[in-house]
Amino acid sequence: MPPEPADRVLARASLAEGNPTGWFDQLYTAASRGEAEVPWTRGKPNAALADWLRPGEGRRALVVGSALGDDAELLASAGWAVTAFDVAPTAVEAARARFPETEVDYVVADLLKPPGEWHQAFDLVVEIINIQAMPRDFRAAAITSLAGFLAPGGTALVSEVAEENVAPEPGPPWPFSREEIESVAQGGVRLVSLETIHDGLRYWATFTR
């Protein structure tokens, strides 16, 4: 049998300690030493986000779980004033090192305990395949935080693995149900569109406030 992926080993240990996000920095640190792979890093922006891209014209954007910065840099190149955060300090440091001349504000923050000043502060919120790395016990709080970032008239883009079209297996990721992704529509946020992409394997949802 091939060895179990590092992300699953680390996630299981972190969750056993009651810490749903601590394993992210452990994984990035192991990857920096060549001891693991970060499965969601591709070295280029998310293709669906690139297809959606709109001019920012100085408006504020927030990238959730910014990893090594590809999506954040894409938005900045289109004129968005981007804040990009990750719970893993190692990931934030790596993103800054990759893009030393960046205009993106890379910060360390936790989706489960976000800064209060981010409440309804962003015209664009991008969440792509991050919350699916949390078991369902923690998702309601994460989704509430996500919805809370969106400013009136803004747009939130949310993409997660679609449970309805994916065979169950040990996580992470733990795929989303349609009901879960629709639950971003709370606290004045409403669903604009919901479709599946990548041959039905992933949801792509748009919300506004």
What average pLDDT is seen over the chain? 91
Q: Over range 2-8, report the average pLDDT.
A: 70
Q: Which amino acid is at 130?
A: N
* Ramachandran bin of 163, using left for φ above 0, alpha for ψ from -120 to 50, beta for the remaining angles: alpha
* Exposure b/e, 162-185, CB count within 10 A at least 16 = b: bbeeeeeeebbbbbbeeebbbbbb
From 120, 39, 34, 105, select the one nearest 73 (Cα to Cα). 105
Question: Rounded to whole angstroms, how far apart are CA atoms 44 and 73?
Answer: 10
Question: Rounded to whole angstroms, how far apart are CA atoms 192 and 209?
Answer: 10
From 20, 35, 7, select the one nearest 170 (Cα to Cα). 7
Strand ranges of the sheet holding 190-197, from the earlier edge strand across to the other edge? 105-108, 81-86, 60-64, 122-128, 150-161, 202-208, 190-197
On whether the CB atoms of residues 186 and 147 are closer than 8 A, the answer is yes
Task: Determine the pLDDT at residue 164.
Answer: 80
For the ranges 3-12, 143-152, 191-200, the lowest mean pLDDT is seen at 3-12
Residue 41 gets which letter from DSSP? -
Phi, psi for 155 (deg, rounded to 5)? -125, 135
Residue 146 gets which letter from DSSP? H
On whether the CB atoms of residues 162 and 176 are closer than 8 A, the answer is yes
Whether the predicted pLDDT of 161 surpasses 80: yes
Note if the pTM is more than 0.85: yes
Whether the predicted pLDDT of 2 surpasses 70: no
pLDDT for 74-104, tens place per residue? Answer: 999 999 999 999 999 999 999 999 999 999 9
Whether the predicted pLDDT of 22 surpasses 90: no
Task: Determine the pLDDT at residue 29.
Answer: 85
Whether the predicted pLDDT of 167 surpasses 80: no
Q: Over range 170-175, report the average pLDDT.
A: 76
Task: Determine the pLDDT at residue 169.
Answer: 67
